[in-house]
A = this chain, B = another copy of it.
């Protein structure tokens, strides 16, 4: 059996642990050096494959490969580049397969979310037809936790932990200031379509009535009167109120809060203005002093407070993808399976990509409390295991030491530059 090389690429918004999956891939390939040759990583994701910009992973030091496990964001570069459908741009897929053929690549390991699962599936299908079969395995990654079939997505546990920790800490701050100053704190978190990240803020609660007092989900239509009444009531009862708002919070008609009111003044439609919209309401209608925070990239890059469970799972799906490749599989994705039993334990399972692509997992309605402002015990039971354990990176000079890759590119073999 001839040894084929493996191509690995990172796709879409990065996470605190996507490099742990890369580490799992690379270490597993090394163990299977009798079956798989080198790992080539796409410089800036799939764009690197289209441009024939392939990072020769064998040029990286062993220390750097080990350090990938504790390095956040996409060390090889990621991209937001969705391949069109086969009908619309078959040439793009054919180019991919041509590049893979030129570099003797037999394994396509694609680390991303829903869109990349779809791409992965198409590469698997088309390569068969083109007579150069490539084993395409998708490795799950998303902070949004919206992939189907897997119990949870690697990347989510760490953002969940960051949000829970930050909510607990900021809540102590407003609680200590509220007698004479700030009464309301609004914390805007990621989540355009699904409220998983906002829900994780509830893990900050230790006792009934603890902050956050209000959580806003994209799944629940925003009702201004009801929201303001709840803020007012909470301030009266507790002296302060902590609100965690999903960036995708929307009115019943589907208008995003971030697209309405004050954010229009920014002159853009990019989400990320729920918190200023909310505090403006609170000031105008209730006259309460407020503070607000917007974590943005901080939340998904916060490797310093990553969940040890998440790191272990991200690493495991990376390894599992290689095992699946070695076992001759294609068009599949390793998934996290929650084992049954009273204590949390997990294992890695397998899902066919045809069932993964183009499906989004929303929060079940029974995870959201009846009034729409909190989560149920079922949600807490689901979320709690995912943030367990700390996995601190090494520090030097007071800051975490993260991998710095050399990113040596493989010599190009194709003339065509594909116009990118």
Contacts and interface: CB of A to CB of B under 8 A. Distances in A.
Contact of A283 (B77, B268, B280, B292): B268
Residue with the highest number of chain B CB atoms closer than 10 Å, among A203, A267, A402: A267
A300 to B, nearest CB: 7
B262 A14 contact: no
Q: Summarize A's interface: helix, strand, loop or mixed.
A: mixed
B80 A181 contact: yes
Interface in A268-298: 268, 270, 272-273, 276, 279-280, 283-284, 290-298
Nearest to A170: B297
A305 interface: yes
A38 interface: no
Given A266-B262, A283-B267, A272 B291 contact: yes
B398 A169 contact: no
Interface of A: 10, 13-14, 16, 43-45, 47, 71-81, 161, 164-166, 168-170, 172-177, 179-181, 185, 187, 203-204, 206, 262, 264-268, 270, 272-273, 276, 279-280, 283-284, 290-298, 300-305, 307, 384, 387-390, 392, 395, 397-400, 402, 404
The 8 A-B pairs with the shortest beta carbon distances in the complex, nearest first, are: A265-B265, A74-B176, A387-B398, A44-B179, A73-B172, A293-B296, A169-B301, A79-B180
Contact of A280 (B74, B206, B268, B392): B268
B179 A79 contact: yes
A110 to B, nearest CB: 16
B304 A293 contact: no
Contact of A294 (B75, B177, B203, B293): B293
Given A43-B179, A169-B297, A270-B290, 17 more contacts: A10-B176, A14-B177, A71-B172, A73-B176, A74-B177, A168-B400, A168-B402, A170-B297, A170-B298, A172-B301, A203-B398, A268-B280, A268-B283, A272-B291, A273-B276, A305-B305, A392-B392
Given A166-B302, A267-B283, A389-B398, A292 B307 contact: no
In the complex this chain forms, how many copies of it are found? 2
Nearest to A160: B398
Residue with the highest number of chain B CB atoms closer than 10 Å, among A45, A170, A203: A170
